[in-house]
Structure 1
Amino acid sequence: MGTPRIVLGVSGGIAAYKACELLRRFTESGHGVRVVPTASALNFVGEATWSALSGNPVATGVWESVHEVPHVRIGQNADLVVVAPATADVLAKAAHGLADDLLTNTLLTARCPVVFAPAMHTEMWEHPATQENVAVLRRRGAVVIEPAVGRLTGADTGKGRFPDPAGIFETCRRVLERGAGLPADLAGRHVVVSAGGTREPLDPVRYLGNRSSGRQGYALARTAVARGARVTLVAANTGPDAPAGVDLVEVGTALQLREAVLAAAADADAVVMAAAVADFRPARYAAGKIKKKDGEEPAPVELVRNPDVLAELSHDRARPGQVVVGFAAETDDVLANGRSKLARKGCDLLVVNEVGESKAFGTAVNEAVVLGADGSETPVPLGPKEALADVVWDLVAPRLP
């Protein structure tokens, strides 16, 4: 395969300057990039900048180099089209098949994967017209990355911020890896992923927890975004570097995670419970730090059970056909314990892996066996956690109604 050919469409929003970083990431990783800015985009970043960063002429209008038929050829020859930032106007035109400039003509002629990275004010993003346009694009197979939450133009703050360029690049890289022949099989779907490990407070400075880093849940979220899904990520104590393009809900305890997952699952097509949820919590929380006393042993810590979120999701499906996936971390009799847990929990798929020192928790790699309620077994050899994540989605997609 030759150098991947990318079309970077830039529409007229203040976030256009951030697309310069995205462009640099593409060129430095060996991609050939043709920048197609709208006329409005050139009010924010000039043609000379795009040309210098891409090393290619910038295509700005349908009447330039007419003999090359740019309004058709640019899209036809692309391996990926990414529109970043994508304004509400461009999303609307793309959804309705309008073609009044070079970028929208390119979107109509492209037969490769298309990624949109929206950026706009919160009110514009939340408007029913924009939400319907996004839903239409996703149903057609486009990848529409959820915008971030944060500071917008001026003093406003909310959802609509341009996603992190590094995250957009990662999504595009994974879309290219899957190839033009592989559809965005989660396009138009809403999936919920839990990640990390819950912490059950004992006093203001101590908690009961586990070693889960959230890396596997993050990998599941990233790969789902690249496959076209709208992703809600319920993250328990995972740190600041959440994947770009997800709706992030941060939680701490098992009870908080249960509440967030059940709320998000109400309209979800699939729920993947990758988080390590504490089975128990202290029966009592000490308002002050528990002190050690000379000559005295500490009082026993009484524990109570936490709700079984996976079993609850499995037995009380929020909607018909919803697919539920669980994870089982085992230290011995891995498959036997996994099969028993699969039957007990009632989920559709159970990802079973052996945990221990330098195994699964906190590492960049994982290996597992995915057990199905239909009796199937899918072994996944040791490799990057994104590889395991893709296998999970490979198994989820055909089970969706």
Structure 2
Amino acid sequence: MYITGGIAAYKAAYFVRALVKDGAKVRVAMTKSATKFITPMTFKTLSRHRVYTDEALVTDDEIVPHIELADWSDTAVIIPATANVIAKMSHGLADDFVTSALLASDCPKFVVPAMNEKMLKNKATTRNIKSLRMDGIKVLDPDVGFLAEGYQGKGRLPSTSTILKWIKQENKNQISTVKDLTGKKILITAGKTLETIDPVRYITNRSTGKMGYALAQTAVERGAEVTLISGPTNLPEISNVNFISIITTAEMFEEVNKFFEQMDIVIMAAAVSDYRIEKPATQKIKKKSATLEIKLVKNVDILKSLGQKKNKQILVGFAAETQNLLENASRKMQEKNVDLLVANDVSRADIGFGSDQNEVTFLRPDHKPVLIGKSDKKRIAAKVFDCIIGF
């Protein structure tokens, strides 16, 4: 979130609080002028994160702060957007932290202007706003109301609820209308696998398939030809996909290999069983003693096998971890030879298995990890494909 130097800057504090309450992770950057209207400490307290100012442009750290913020952001909101920052954005200027980070951001941008009516209606401002919209940047029309100058006019910052509703709706529309995967053949695995113990029992995991299905739905909406290989789930069918149902890890391995060679992108989002029962019982095991020993043997490592034979395919894997997330995920990325590994902490109750929300870290060979803040799984799916498109 980017705060610029207008009298309405104090209202941005209410917007940050609303975003946090809504479950968003928020980081704030402020122009030098904005800090004269409201202090960085206010936003640090509300967002529970450092606030970026011009002093952050130069550090002794290995990271480049304005690039780090640009890479981290899922959505960029400029509020209040002054005529000055609108002009800079429309011309691609980057003379402070805020405009440098915005120029480096490839996420959806939402501009919320607030200024005097005469400044708003000036031909230069009108031309600059039109330029932003032509570049695909969303601009919200200001409200009519009592202005700081002491009279009624257009240029007042809309209410927090209005801004939040607008951003959510525009984000939803943007996800569904992008067609940048047209002509691509994509294979996605989803859900869990089941390994038989006896005719009644099996071993499995907690995956619901929501992430894989969100990926498949997003890929279809963006124009791809999608094959979805799924273990058991309680999710509704997705239209316009080649759907293949499997039960065991061995069945998934067989089906994946049938399609792998013809695919452009392969995303292994399923949570497969690493082990199976060596000798499943043909009849229900009776409760005869206080203990029961079952011998497990390793299943084939599907992702690793694909990593060894991929040629033109972009291969994406998932890592569900409960500890040492980056360490374990980085090792998996190297061992499996994937182009992108999506890692998440499934020990958290608010994300991961069964949740509609997730928070993930993207790992790529020779790239720094990129955190994708807590968001719904449809938005995470969109970010996965945004990353792939950028390869």
Deviations 1:104-133 (A, max 9, x none): xxxxxxxxxxxxxxxxxxxxxxxxxxxxxx
The one-letter code matched in structure 2 to 1:321 is: K
Structure 2 counterpart of 1:336? 327
Deviation at 1:202, TM superposition (A): 0.4
The 8 Å contact of residues 174 and 226 in structure 1, kept in 2 or not, is answered as no
Structure 2 contact 176–221 (Cα < 8 Å) conserved: no
Residues 175 and 226 of structure 1 are in contact (CA less than 8 Å); yes or no, is this contact kept in structure 2? Answer: no
Letter in 2 for 1:257: M
- Structure 2 regions of 5+ residues with no counterpart? 1-169
1:379 counterpart residue number: 371
Give the structure 1 partner of residue 345 of structure 2: 354
Deviation string, structure 1 residues 52-86 (Cα, Å, up to 9, x no partner): xxxxxxxxxxxxxxxxxxxxxxxxxxxxxxxxxxx
- Name the residue aligned to 1:108: none
Q: Contact 1:174/1:223 (CA < 8 Å) preserved in 2?
A: no
Equivalent runs, 1:184-203 vs 2, <5 Å:
184-203=179-198
Quote how far apart the aligned CAs of 1:185 are.
1.5
- Pair 1:366 & 2:361 matched: no
Cα distance, 1:383 vs structure 2: 0.8
Who is 1:395 aligned against?
387
Displacement after TM superposition at 1:244 (Å):
1.5
Question: How far did 1:398 drift?
Answer: 3.0
Matches of 2:235 and 2:210 in 1, distance apart?
A: 12
2:291 is matched with which residue?
298
How many Å separate the matches in 2 of 1:276 and 1:350?
14
AA aligned to 1:310 is L
Alignment match, 2:307: 314
% of aligned pairs identical? 38
Q: Aligned partners of 2:347 and 2:176: how far apart in 1? A: 36
In 1: Cα distance, 2:269 partner to 2:313 partner: 17
SS in 1 for 2:216: helix
Deviation, structure 1 residue 273: 0.4
Pairwise CA distance, 1:376: 3.4
The residue type equivalent to 1:313 in the other structure is L
Query: What is the aligned-residue RMSD (CA, Å)?
Result: 1.8
SS of equivalent to 2:341: strand
Q: Give the 3-state SS of the residue equivalent to 1:193 in structure 2.
A: strand
Aligned to 1:84: none
Distance change >3 Å, CA 175–CA 362, structure 1 → 2: closer
Whole-Å Cα distance in 2 between the matches of residues 340 and 360 of structure 1?
A: 20
Change (3 A) 1:234 1:179: closer
Following superposition, the deviation at residue 374 of structure 1 comes to 2.8
CA deviation after TM superposition for structure 1 residue 240, in Å: 5.3
CA contact (8 A) 1:231 1:247 kept: yes
SS at match of 2:370: strand
Query: What secondary structure is seen at the aligned counterpart in 2 of 1:266?
Result: helix
C-alpha separation in 1, matches of 2:383 and 2:348: 24
Is the CA contact (8 Å cut-off) linking 1:233 and 1:246 kept in structure 2?
yes
Between the aligned partners of 2:263 and 2:171, the Cα distance in structure 1 is: 23
Q: Aligned with 1:287: secondary structure? A: coil
Letter in 2 for 1:306: N
State the Cα distance separating 1:371 from its structure 2 match.
0.3
After superposition, the Cα gap between the structure-2 partners of 1:179 and 1:250, relative to the gap in structure 1 and judged at 3 Å, is closer
Residue matched to 2:231: 236
The alignment covers a number of residue pairs equal to 221
User: Residues 292 and 298 of structure 1 are in contact (CA less than 8 Å); yes or no, is this contact kept in structure 2?
Assistant: no
Q: CA deviation at 1:321?
A: 2.1
Residue 175 of structure 1: CA displacement?
8.4
CA distance 1:178–1:355, shift in 2 (3 Å) = closer
Aligned partners of 2:171 and 2:225: how far apart in 1?
Answer: 16
Q: Could you say what secondary structure the match of 1:203 adopts? A: coil
Find the aligned partners of 1:207 and 1:178 in 2 and give their Cα distance. 38
**Runs of 5+ unmatched residues, structure 1:** 1-172
Does the CA contact (< 8 Å) of 1:217 and 1:274 recur in 2?
yes
Q: Specify the structure having the higher radius of gyration (Cα).
A: 2
Matched, 1:177 2:174: yes
CA separation of 1:209/1:357 partners in 2, compared to 1, >3 Å: closer, same or farther? farther
